[in-house]
A = this chain, B = another copy of it.
Amino acid sequence: MSFVSIREVGPRDGLQNEDPVPADAKVRLLDALSATGVRRIEAVSFVHPKAIPQMADADEVWARSRHDPDVRYSALVPNTRGAQRALAAGFREIEVVVSASDTHNRKNLNRSTDESLDDIAQLVPLIHAAGGTVEVIVATSFGCPYEGDVPPERVGSIVERVRADGADRIAFGDTTGMGTPRRVRDLLSVVTPDLLHFHNTRGTGLANILTALNLGVTEFDASVGGLGGCPYAPGASGNVATEEVVHMLHDMGYETGIDLDALIAAAALAQEIVGRELPSGVLKAGLRTR
């Protein structure tokens, strides 16, 4: 049996791409997820409330939620101010984002990729000095909605730069669901991340994870219920649904530590909270055998 490490990103990446929900609902969802046996949760982001109103109450949500000693919680931050807030709130696993595509980086962060890399170089020692670790998420690693294909070498050079600047961990984000098994193979033949973050926008989510597993990657992001969606294609799926990933992995003999029934219950809660039908097939159809 091999262990595959799932990081649940529904409370942050999922809810950030839904209409805002009350802090109470976020706390309920976080607590439900902490009780599933999942070992890692991306809990909140510390961003400017005008930029992302969905995360305006991050401090309150985090303070009121249960912190399970067996779960590693992380927070996403866009800048020094966010990192200071995250550290003050007690987070020690900090994520930052940079896009491999310059156009996407400018649209997303209002600066060039190189400028964001300079920002990250400044952030790393600040976070390290406070005892934290930095994961750099390279967004649009499998393609950009503005620029199209992103050369694997471009992702590789970003990884080289951020590693040289002290990043502790690297994740590749398939930000708009342009990943396919072929693109996974192409990129991973050039550079291997610690963790992969796939979207299921064009149905390839689990096929991509399968491909990456066969290439040795054992850490994946997923969002309960498929919470989130895709800002670039209204109505389309966003993050791979955690219970679909775990359902496939368990059937293949991998361990995740997750109780699938508890996870499906958390997905039903997520669906109730956002008040729309979530895309997860396992939520709709249940386990393959009952």
Contact = CB atoms under 8 A, between A and B. Distances in A.
Interface of A: 143, 148-149, 176-178, 180-183, 200-207, 209-211, 230, 232-233, 235-237, 240-241, 244, 247-248, 251-253, 277, 280-282, 284-286, 288-290
Question: When A and B form their complex, which 5 residue pairs have the shortest distance between CB atoms, in order from nearest?
Answer: A203-B244, A233-B285, A206-B207, A178-B288, A236-B284
A204 to B, nearest CB: 5
Contacts of A181: 210, 248, 252
10 contacts: A180-B251, A181-B248, A183-B251, A200-B203, A201-B281, A202-B282, A203-B281, A210-B210, A233-B284, A233-B285
Contacts of A282: 202-203
A41 to B, nearest CB: 21
A247 B183 CA distance: 13
A149 B280 CA distance: 22
Nearest to A214: B214
B281 A177 contact: yes
A284 B235 contact: yes
Contacts of A143: 288-289
A61 B161 CA distance: 62
Contact of A288 (B180, B200, B237, B288): B180
How many copies, total? Answer: 2
Contacts of A236: 281, 284-285
A252 to B, nearest CB: 4
Given A182-B252, A232-B285, A203 B201 contact: no
Contact of A180 (B248, B277, B285): B248
The secondary structure that dominates the A interface is loop
B289 A207 contact: no
A176 B284 CA distance: 13
Given A177-B281, A203-B205, A235-B284, 17 more contacts: A148-B289, A149-B289, A178-B289, A180-B288, A181-B252, A182-B252, A202-B285, A203-B241, A203-B248, A206-B206, A206-B207, A210-B210, A210-B211, A233-B284, A233-B286, A236-B284, A237-B284
A16 B203 CA distance: 23
A123 to B, nearest CB: 31
A288 B200 CA distance: 12
B251 A182 contact: yes
Nearest to A148: B289
A209 B244 CA distance: 16
Given A253-B182, A289-B143, A204 B206 contact: yes
A207 B251 contact: no
A148 B286 CA distance: 13
